[in-house]
Amino acid sequence: MDAEAQESFREFVANRSSALLRTAVLLSGGDRHAGEDLLQNALIKAAGRWHRIDEPEAYVRQILYRQQISRWRLKWRGRELSVAEPPEPGTDMEAASSATELRLLMRGALARLTARQRAVLVLRYFEDLPEAEVARILGCSVGTVRSTTHRSLARLRALAPELRALGPSAAESKPARDYSNVEVRS
Amino acid sequence: MNVDDVVREVLREQAAELTPPAPGFADRVLAVRRRRRVRGLATAAAAVAAVIAVSVGVPGLDSGGEGVRPAGGVEQDRITGRTDQSPPRELLAAGEVAMAAYYTTEKVRRSADRMVSERTYWLLDPRTKKYEKDDRWSFVAVAPGLKTAAVLERELPADRVGLLDLASGEVERWIPVDHEAGGLAFSPDGRKLVATTYGEDPGLLLRVEDPGGPVGWEPREISSRNGFQVIDVASGAGSWTEVATGDEPFGPAGFVNARQDFAFSADGRFVWAGRVSDTVELDYFDLAGDAVAPPTREAHRTWHVEAGLSPDGRRLAGDFAGKGMKTSSWILDPLTGEQVAEVHGQQLLAWADNDSLVAWDIAADGNEFHQRLVLVTVGSGKVVPLSGFRSPEDDAKGRWEPVFVRR
């Protein structure tokens, strides 16, 4: 990497690292240390190919998502993230505190999903990307994105039974599998 | 409110709480990159590795930790360490196990859109007690006793299994297999072999285009594994069992990796393989090929932890238990799966005796891939280094993988 490339790399990191870190930490189930580690590795990979990358942000994001769900990470997924145990919900709590507790429960449940399940939810509900775009980023079919979303939401309910009181999402009212030939793979 | 509304809200809330990375993040990234590159080139310098091995202290898990006692090239308490060698050139052993072989992996381009991840083995010569390169084989399993190995030839999957005499380096016999094999494992008594059968090379990588970026290489999402063949070593007789893999890579039944080999259970009565899944992680079969429930003491096995059950069957090696810079692993009660102890080590590889294990552990720099072999003991903070550090660079020559076998 020559001086000019290093300068443009530094500028990119200075401008975009806050946003990228948010994604990386969410992908890591809220663990900042793991998120920084993930982003650092993605940026190292990008730095090695800096000259050949046309859209650095798209490239780094793709690495973030794919790296997080790669086989190596899966091998290490036993490294469960530690999250503070949410308090047991009281029986007569007020609406406000119950909403807070619900969010705490949800955080805990999100951290316990598999990396791939979490990646799909972050892409769909944090990045607000359409299913076809999620499929392209993860390198799978739209049907797989749909079924993974469905199963991830179901898993959240299983992990935190208190969430069962919530209404079903739009994703859950669709069929879990899609047998059409929509294969989005660029 | 719907469940996806809460997911959306919680993710945004979590993101909003984050402070930006510390100033100088880009320089930190560039510095780590430089260090990794330099280390990748420098690991061959055994002298450097030796100095690191001696000077790095691994803190005990509890305040009563006993620190480091390097094992030299001399046999002490049945431990033969090679802290100045990475990879080891001479016999490395601890208690009941010895490193029978090691291999490195290299990606070889086969065509414009295909690459194969290939292994090169170094096998222990039982006469000289040195590791000798033998690049005739794509896969090697060594039988307990370190005298014989089962080998597969270069092109995978292979249609015959060779029985290699490790002293002479000659194949004594070839055993043809009904379905082509990509992986092998011996039974604990060395009398049987299980060959994992594949439709194509389990090391195959396909070209994947990243948008806006360069080309990547990834294994096929759906493994070509199709079953296993149990072989009687003496007679060569065998029977094949078909095991289907799902057609949806991340379907409800989970999935198996491109290479996901079968192995024998600790008592040799069953064969098993792992699965990446939220629910069922282990598939066990009896030797007739019928799916069975896991044996009582192996139901809580973590498939990617190689050590498995202790020789007396009273302890089960478990998953990574560490956090941050601390690397440790769980020891489980095999009957309940309960975590009964925590030992040093990032990855538990083999039981040296009923209390001690050979493990990978990381260097003090915290890089999870910069590791050396150590001996750890349940109920003790003691860590005995066994090898020099291996390179953290993926696919580098210095990134060797050990094969441990009962000696």
Q: Mean of the pLDDT values across residues B341-346?
A: 92
Q: What is the mean pLDDT of chain B?
A: 84
Local confidence band at A75 (pLDDT 50, 70, 90 cut-offs): very low
Supply the pLDDT for residue A151.
Answer: 87
B33 contacts chain A (CB < 8 A): yes
Supply the pLDDT for residue B43.
Answer: 33
Helices B25-42, A3-27: crossing angle, 10 deg rounding: 100
Q: Are B363 and B371 in contact (CB under 8 A)?
A: yes
B220 contacts chain A (CB < 8 A): no
B41 contacts chain A (CB < 8 A): no
Half-sphere exposure of A106 (CA within 13 A, CB side): 26
Supply the pLDDT for residue B375.
Answer: 96
What are the pLDDT digits (tens) for B28-61? 888 777 765 543 333 333 222 322 222 232 333 3
B218 C-beta neighbours (distance < 10 Å), count: 15
Helix (H) or strand (E) holding A64: helix A56-68
d(CA A25, CA B364): 24
What are the pLDDT digits (tens) for B109-146? 999 889 999 999 999 999 999 999 999 999 999 999 99
B38 contacts chain A (CB < 8 A): no
- Contact state of B7 with A13 under an 8 Å Cβ cutoff: no
The phi and psi torsions of B129 (rounded to 5 degrees) equal 60, 30
Chain B residue numbers with beta carbons less than 8 Å from the beta carbon of A82 are 323
User: Model ipTM?
Assistant: 0.80
- The residues near B110 (Cβ < 8 Å, ≥ 6 apart) are B116
Beta carbon pairs, A and B, within 8 Å: 157
Q: Where are the domains of chain B?
A: 1-56, 57-96+306-396, 97-264
Local confidence band at A121 (pLDDT 50, 70, 90 cut-offs): very high
Chain A residue numbers with beta carbons less than 8 Å from the beta carbon of B323 are 82
d(CA B263, CA B86): 28
In the three-class reduction of DSSP (H, G, I as helix; E, B as strand; rest coil), residue A91 is classed as coil
- Contact state of B2 with A59 under an 8 Å Cβ cutoff: no
Considering chain A, what percentage of its residues have pLDDT values greater than 70? Answer: 73
In the three-class reduction of DSSP (H, G, I as helix; E, B as strand; rest coil), residue A81 is classed as coil
d(CA A37, CA B79): 36
What are the pLDDT digits (tens) for B324-333? 667 899 999 9
The phi and psi torsions of B36 (rounded to 5 degrees) equal -60, -40
B13 contacts chain A (CB < 8 A): yes
For A55, the token pair is 């859209």
For B83, the token pair is 């802290």
Supply the pLDDT for residue B368.
Answer: 67
Q: What is the mean pLDDT of chain A?
A: 75
Supply the pLDDT for residue B275.
Answer: 81
- Contact state of B211 with A55 under an 8 Å Cβ cutoff: yes
Of the candidates B1, B20, B324, the beta carbon closest to that of A166 is on B1
Local confidence band at A52 (pLDDT 50, 70, 90 cut-offs): confident
Reported pTM: 0.61
Supply the pLDDT for residue B56.
Answer: 30
Chain B residue numbers with beta carbons less than 8 Å from the beta carbon of A48 are 33
Closest of A180, A175, A132 to residue A151, by C-alpha:
A175
- DSSP annotation of A55: -
d(CA B1, CA B3): 7
- Contact state of B208 with A59 under an 8 Å Cβ cutoff: no
Cis peptide leading into B87, omega within 30 of 0? yes
Supply the pLDDT for residue B35.
Answer: 64
Local confidence band at A138 (pLDDT 50, 70, 90 cut-offs): confident
What are the pLDDT digits (tens) for B176-203? 998 999 999 999 999 999 999 999 999 9
Residue B62 has pLDDT above 80, yes or no: no
DSSP states of B125-183:
ETTTTEEEEETTEEEEEEPTTSSEEEEEESSSSEEEEEEEETTTTEEEEEEEEEEEEEE
B326 contacts chain A (CB < 8 A): no
Closest of B307, B241, B252, B292 to residue B275, by C-alpha:
B252
Local confidence band at A69 (pLDDT 50, 70, 90 cut-offs): low
B36 contacts chain A (CB < 8 A): yes
Q: Are B318 and B330 in contact (CB under 8 A)?
A: yes
- Contact state of B221 with A74 under an 8 Å Cβ cutoff: no
Question: Which residue did the predictor score with more confidence, B62 or B208?
Answer: B208
Map tokens 């669709």 to a residue. Answer: A174
What are the pLDDT digits (tens) for B73-109? 545 568 899 999 999 999 999 999 999 999 999 989 9
- Contact state of B302 with A78 under an 8 Å Cβ cutoff: yes
Question: Which of B125-129, B253-257, B277-281, B389-393 is predicted most confidently?
Answer: B125-129
- The residues near B186 (Cβ < 8 Å, ≥ 6 apart) are B141, B142, B143, B144, B150, B192, B193, B264
Burial (CB < 10 A; 0-12, 13-18, 19+), residue A99, is middle
Local confidence band at B371 (pLDDT 50, 70, 90 cut-offs): confident
Q: Mean of the pLDDT values across residues B215-233?
A: 86
- Chain A CA closest to residue B259: A71
How many angstroms separate the first and last alpha carbons of chain A? Answer: 29
Chain B residue numbers with beta carbons less than 8 Å from the beta carbon of A139 are 208, 218, 221
Q: Are B184 and B153 in contact (CB under 8 A)?
A: no
Q: B149-165: b or e for each residue (b if 16 or more CB lie within 10 Å)?
A: bbbbbeebbbeebbbbe
Supply the pLDDT for residue A24.
Answer: 93
CA distances from A37 to A27, A29, A44, B105, B166 (A): 12, 13, 11, 25, 43
Supply the pLDDT for residue A97.
Answer: 57
Local confidence band at B399 (pLDDT 50, 70, 90 cut-offs): confident
Local confidence band at B69 (pLDDT 50, 70, 90 cut-offs): very low
Given the DSSP bridges, would you call strands B204-209 and B215-218 parallel, antiparallel or unpaired?
antiparallel
The phi and psi torsions of A162 (rounded to 5 degrees) equal -60, -25
Q: Are B185 and B263 in contact (CB under 8 A)?
A: yes
For B184, the token pair is 């092998």
Given phi > 0 = left and psi -120 to 50 = alpha, else beta, which region is A139? left
The phi and psi torsions of B32 (rounded to 5 degrees) equal -65, -40
- The residues near B181 (Cβ < 8 Å, ≥ 6 apart) are B152, B157, B158, B159, B161, B195, B196, B197, B198, B229
Considering chain B, what percentage of its residues have pLDDT values greater than 90? Answer: 61
Q: What is the nearest CA distance from A89 to chain B, expressed in angstroms?
A: 17
Residue B373 has pLDDT above 70, yes or no: yes
- List B246's β-bridge partners, or say none: none
- Contact state of B2 with A136 under an 8 Å Cβ cutoff: no
- DSSP annotation of B284: E
Of the candidates B29, B212, B219, the beta carbon closest to that of A55 is on B212
Helix (H) or strand (E) holding B47: helix B46-55
Residue A180 has pLDDT above 90, yes or no: no
d(CA B339, CA B162): 41
Residue A131 has pLDDT above 60, yes or no: yes
Chain B residue numbers with beta carbons less than 8 Å from the beta carbon of A75 are 304
Supply the pLDDT for residue B297.
Answer: 94
The edge-to-edge listing of strands for the beta sheet with B383-385 is B347-351, B356-362, B371-377, B383-385
- Contact state of B211 with A153 under an 8 Å Cβ cutoff: no
- Contact state of A17 with B11 under an 8 Å Cβ cutoff: no
In the three-class reduction of DSSP (H, G, I as helix; E, B as strand; rest coil), residue B95 is classed as coil
Q: Mean of the pLDDT values across residues A110-118?
A: 86
Map tokens 């092109």 to a residue. Answer: B155
d(CA A118, CA A134): 12
Supply the pLDDT for residue B232.
Answer: 95
Mutate to test the interface with B, among A26, A51, A123 (most CBs of B within 10 A): A26
The phi and psi torsions of B218 (rounded to 5 degrees) equal -135, 150
d(CA B81, CA B249): 42
Q: Mean of the pLDDT values across residues A13-38?
A: 90
Question: Which residue did the predictor score with more confidence, A73 or B209?
Answer: B209
Question: Which residue did the predictor score with more confidence, B367 or B271?
Answer: B271
B211 contacts chain A (CB < 8 A): yes
